[in-house]
Amino acid sequence: MRNKLILYALKCIAWLPLTVARALGRGLGALIVILNLHPARTAKINLALCYPRMTEADINRLSAKRMSHLAQTLFETPKVWREGNIGLETKILAIRGLELFEASLSAGLGTILIIPHQGNWEVLGLWASQKAAMTSLYDPPRMIELEAWIKASREQAGATLVPTNLRGVAALIKALQRGDITGILPDQQPPLNSGEFAPFLGIQTQTMTLIHKLLQRSGSRALMCTALRVPGGWEIHFLPVAREIYSDDQQLSLAALNQGVEAVIDLAPEQYQWEYKRFRARPDGEPSVYP
């Protein structure tokens, strides 16, 4: 019953104008800061680790801005799911680096869109899926009541979703070899057998090896990208990757991947997922960074 009520509330939120949804999000974000809830506390820990020269006051300000954007994402995403690409047509207000995306498509080698958890990644996935054939890994949400809604939204522009297992990865490689695109979020902690430590913002961080393996096996190209929140909608950015991401040397490739994520963060640090416990796994002998 609780999950059904949550789903009903989200579907009601989905009908709100974007300006109203974002205003409610800013209000919720302010409440998270005032109550110093878990997301705000974790964000401050991560910011202090990643930016050791930043003052406590600056950390608090950046964390507060992030809580506002986090809550805005929560309130605007149901609208994105409901309206799909039709609703996005007037909400994508600018595309920076579009020539990079078009050149990669023209090469016909397949393109991996590397999409950090910044801004609203659902927006970017929907936009990209109507520009070229798109095949992506799909891990159903824990709330099964949400699955049909999310899946329908992601597939409505023609995207093909495959499971997050060996069969799904094999399908992804074949799709890339056909020249399809895929979107991968690179900055979650992977399972121990699917990641290696690599530098990220000066910290040895467990980093997924999937992108390196896909590039090696498919011969495809990669781009960093994000959909940043701006007044009235979103602005899409494409950034080039460092050439080392294509290296046979996995450590060089992972370091280049994280370097690309850092470049995306620099576009709008307040829109990055600082509330996520990115540094839970530590190299042998290093203590936990979270209480």
pLDDT in tens, 31-83: 999 999 999 999 999 999 999 999 999 999 999 999 999 999 999 999 999 99
Does 16 have pLDDT greater than 80?
yes
The stretch 137-148 carries a mean pLDDT of 79
Q: What percent of the chain has pLDDT over 90?
A: 82
Does 194 have pLDDT greater than 90?
yes
Alpha helices in 35-97 (DSSP H): 38-50, 56-88
Q: Which residue has the tokens 């090896």?
A: 209
Of the CA atoms within 13 Å of residue 253, those in its CB half-sphere come to: 18
**39-69 burial by CB neighbour count: b if 16+ within 10 A, else e?**
bbebbbbbbeebeeeeeeeebbebbbbbbbb
Phi and psi at residue 37, in whole multiples of 5°? -75, 170
pLDDT band at 5 (very low <50, low <70, confident <90, very high): confident
Domain annotation covers residue 7 = no
The stretch 140-169 carries a mean pLDDT of 82
Q: Crossing angle, helix 250-267 and helix 210-218, to 10 degrees?
A: 110
DSSP string, 111-158: EEEE--SBB-HHHHHHHHHTTS-BEEEE---SSHHHHHHHHHHHHTTT
Greater model confidence, 164 or 273: 273
CB 203 within 8 Å of CB 50 = yes
Distance, CA of 32 to CA of 102 (rounded, Å): 40
Does 273 have pLDDT greater than 90?
yes
Q: What is the pLDDT of residue 59?
A: 98
Q: What is the pLDDT of residue 110?
A: 97
Distance, CA of 35 to CA of 48 (rounded, Å): 20
Domain annotation covers residue 50 = no
Q: Tell me the residue range of the domain where 125 lies.
A: 86-271
Q: What percent of the chain has pLDDT over 70?
A: 100
- What would the pLDDT profile of 93-107 be if each residue is shown by its tens digit? 999 999 999 999 999
Q: What is the pLDDT of residue 147?
A: 80
Greater model confidence, 276 or 8: 276
Distance, CA of 80 to CA of 120 (rounded, Å): 9
Contacts of 143 (CB under 8 A, 6+ apart): 3, 6, 7
- What would the pLDDT profile of 238-265 be if each residue is shown by its tens digit? 999 999 999 999 999 999 999 999 999 9
Domain annotation covers residue 184 = yes
Greater model confidence, 8 or 231: 231
Domain annotation covers residue 110 = yes
Query: What domain count does the chain have?
Result: 1
Which DSSP state fits 290?
-
Closest CA to 181 of 154, 151, 159: 159
pLDDT band at 156 (very low <50, low <70, confident <90, very high): confident
Domain annotation covers residue 253 = yes
Domain annotation covers residue 204 = yes
Closest CA to 123 of 162, 73, 186, 184: 73
Distance, CA of 258 to CA of 242 (rounded, Å): 10
Which DSSP state fits 194?
G
The stretch 215-242 carries a mean pLDDT of 98
Domain annotation covers residue 44 = no
User: What is the rounded average pLDDT for all residues in the chain?
Assistant: 94
CB 92 within 8 Å of CB 159 = no
Domain annotation covers residue 54 = no
CB 57 within 8 Å of CB 98 = no
